[in-house]
Amino acid sequence: MPQDNHHIFADGKLSRSEDTLRIDTLAGEMKHLPVESVGTLYLHGQIDFNTRTLGLLNDYGTTVHVFGWNDYYKGSYLPKRQHQSGNTVVEQVRAYDDQDRRMPIARSMIQASMHNMRSNLKYYDTRDHEFGDAIERIEQQQELVADIADIQELRGAEATARKAYYGCFDDVLRDPFELSRREYNPPSNETNALISFLNAMVYTTCVSAIRKTALDPTIGYVHEPGDRRFTLSLDIADIFKPILADRVLFRLVNRRQLNLDDFERELEGCLLNEGGRLTVLEAYEETLDETVAHPRLNRNVSYKTLVQTDVYSLKKHILTGEPYRPTERWW
């Protein structure tokens, strides 16, 4: 079903009117959104809304992601669960608690994540870059993964691979963009700001996808469940970051769709300004809509659907033991 994401940058009011969503901006514009076709709402501006609006969003299962100051991810309003299944949650926790079940899931997630990093590098390796060393280092880690029996070691392998991966960014990115080291909280330069923003978008995409199932987003397999964050989304997001975030980053920078004017520096940090965010989001949304031929489903599916099928596959694996196939770029 075409369920578009809708981003609201304007300040104003979101209300329920004539059984659908209505936006009144402070600039005096009014717009109706077809509630049936809006999959997820992203609020970037200052928006007022009331419980009647939330009720409507609830009825249609629309997720709302809220972004705060300088577009830092603030949180999500998740509709009342459409899919309730105690059975699924119990099985999900059991799989987490049982090393023999947790490790294979975690391993295949990390494998997929490394595979996707490697395939990005391979793509640029064939296009006048020399990434042989980094590719080899990632491959070494991939080989190690199969024998690792400890979750921390597994995360260590992932970190090593990711370090090699990020090490290549500087080379791919056209000047003046550079990445000497990955830094966040706050991002220290333009590239770090872009990576942080895109990663946050991938994370919210995963939150929305997980919400469409009965899975509990707080119980993940690679990351340790903690407080205040959706660990399962972090797990899934790691698989998709190279596909969704990094490729968009490379494209935007190398085609010069972004330049240094799209950022603002404040308090030792660097963040995208509004124009920059809009450019990035347009590119990100386009990427979500991009389609590839899926070998098992026998049809074309969008990248957004791939996130969804990944989550379905995980759920099926947890419930029935059918093999979990995290998305590894095959195209």
Partner 1 sequence: MFVLITYDVPADRTGIYRKLLRKHLEHIQYSVFHGDITKGQLVTIIHEIEDQLKSDDSIYIFQAEVSAAVECTVLGDAEEPGQRFT
Strands 38-43 and 47-48: unpaired
Q: Is 285 in the site for partner 1 (CB under 8 A)?
A: yes
| Encoded tokens for 302 | 């969008």
Phi, psi angle pair for 231, to nearest 5°? -65, -35
Q: Is 31 in the site for partner 1 (CB under 8 A)?
A: yes
Closer by beta carbon to partner 1, 56 or else 219 = 56
Closer by beta carbon to partner 1, 278 or else 301 = 278
15, 35, 70, 312: residue in contact with partner 1 (rule CB under 8 A): 35
207, 281, 283, 311: residue in contact with partner 1 (rule CB under 8 A): 281
Alpha-carbon gap, residue 304 to 51, rounded angstroms:
29
Shortest Å, Cβ 194 to partner 1: 19
Shortest Å, Cβ 35 to partner 1: 6
Alpha-carbon gap, residue 91 to 320, rounded angstroms:
10
- Rounded to 10 degrees, the C-alpha dihedral 34/35/37/39 comes to 140
Shortest Å, Cβ 206 to partner 1: 19
Shortest Å, Cβ 17 to partner 1: 9
Shortest Å, Cβ 33 to partner 1: 8
Q: Is 245 in the site for partner 1 (CB under 8 A)?
A: no
| Encoded tokens for 77 | 């309003």
Q: Is 201 in the site for partner 1 (CB under 8 A)?
A: no
13, 15, 20, 156: residue in contact with partner 1 (rule CB under 8 A): 20
Total residues interacting with partner 1, rule: CB under 8 A: 24
36, 98, 133, 136: residue in contact with partner 1 (rule CB under 8 A): 36
Shortest Å, Cβ 148 to partner 1: 42
Q: Is 282 in the site for partner 1 (CB under 8 A)?
A: yes
Shortest Å, Cβ 278 to partner 1: 7
- Among the residue ranges 110-118, 160-168, 276-284, 304-312, the one whose residues contact partner 1 (CB under 8 A): 276-284
Judged by DSSP in three states, 126 sits in: coil
Judged by DSSP in three states, 3 sits in: coil
Q: DSSP states of 270-319 as a string?
A: EEE-HHHHHHHHHHHHHHHH-EEEETTTTEEEEHHHHHHHHHHHHHHHHH
Judged by DSSP in three states, 263 sits in: strand
Q: Is 18 in the site for partner 1 (CB under 8 A)?
A: yes
Which amino acid is it at 165?
A: Y
Alpha helices in 46-150 (DSSP H): 51-59, 86-97, 99-125, 132-145
C-beta separation of 200 from 233 below 8 A: no
26, 37, 136, 159: residue in contact with partner 1 (rule CB under 8 A): 37
Binding site for partner 1 (CB under 8 A): 1-2, 4-10, 18-20, 23, 25, 31-32, 34-37, 278, 281-282, 285
